[in-house]
Chain A
Amino acid sequence: MTVPPGAYFALSAVLFTLGVTGVLVRRNALVIFMSIELMLNSVNLTFVAFARQLGRIEGQVTVFFVMVIAAVEVVVGLAIIIAIFRTRDTVDIDDVDLLRG
């Protein structure tokens, strides 16, 4: 392993930060959702890098479960976005403020 594990961790940290930025700054619900996927993937990268560094397979098993849950999350989340679009005709989350005081 000529690439040091720290390089993978640093890349993962930057990707996670990009995902956080997208969630905080963008207002299109679909793009926010993709940013969440970005964060999930950066965490997966950390898991796999640690699995490689420690020589243990459990990290990769965890990534498997994260992928399963991410697939479910995407399906349910996109269904919710479609439902919101049907009733309010927008995917801009600033327009969805029924719970605002």
Chain B
Amino acid sequence: MELVLFALAALGALAGGVGVIASRLPVRSALALLLVLGSLSVLYLLLAAQFIAALQVIIYAGAIVVLFLFVIMLLHARSGETRPEKLRGQRQAAYLLVAVFLAAIVAVVVTRPSAQTAGLPEGFGSAQVVGASLFTGYVLPFELASIVLLVGIVAAVVIGAPAGGTR
């Protein structure tokens, strides 16, 4: 059962990943990204991370992808990749480098030292356990994250405001 769910979610994630980089229209890329995010949230559930899975759906699928779709509709942007590239051979070089990179990273995965899968304590991955860790050992990063969020909001307003317009 778990194996079937993993296979389905992994297949969805891979198909979505290919769709993101291969589709002509940005809208289709965004929807493929949505497929990836949904599949990953299923994988998070399989990995006993219920809280993270919920966050994944709320933050990524609910907010980030919607933001992408809004901007795509706002810009009515065509893909615009019909003209020849300015740097000749960059596509071939990119594929070559990516193949080398994939080989290296898979080699690391295959040759990593094997570790026993640990047994899980009660409630592992629930909002309560993650929150307890967040508010004891990680209070300072948590507060800093709120400041970063505030800076991001202000930056978006400033950058997005029309130049020379009334604020």
List A residues at the B interface (Cβ < 8 Å): 1-3, 5-11, 13-22, 24-28, 30-31, 33-35, 37-38, 41, 44-45, 48-49, 51-58, 60-61, 63-65, 67-76, 78-83, 85-87, 90-92, 94, 97
Contact = CB atoms under 8 A, between A and B. Distances in A.
A82 B64 contact: no
Interface string B109-143: 11010010111110011000110011001100100
Contact of A54 (B64, B112, B118): B118
A31 B20 contact: yes
Residue among A21, A79, A81 with most chain B CB within 10 A: A21
Nearest to A1: B117
B145 A65 contact: yes
Given A11-B10, A69-B145, A60 B43 contact: no
Interface of B is mostly: helix
Interface of A is mostly: helix
A28 B85 contact: no
Interface of B: 2-3, 6, 10, 13-14, 17-18, 20-21, 26, 29-30, 33, 36-37, 40, 43-44, 46-49, 51-52, 55-56, 59-60, 63-64, 67-68, 71-72, 74-75, 77, 79-81, 83, 85-86, 90-91, 94-95, 97-98, 101-102, 105-106, 109-110, 112, 115, 117-121, 124-125, 129-130, 133-134, 137-138, 141, 145, 148-149, 151-153, 155-156, 159-160, 162-163
B20 to A, nearest CB: 5
Contacts of A14: 14, 17, 102
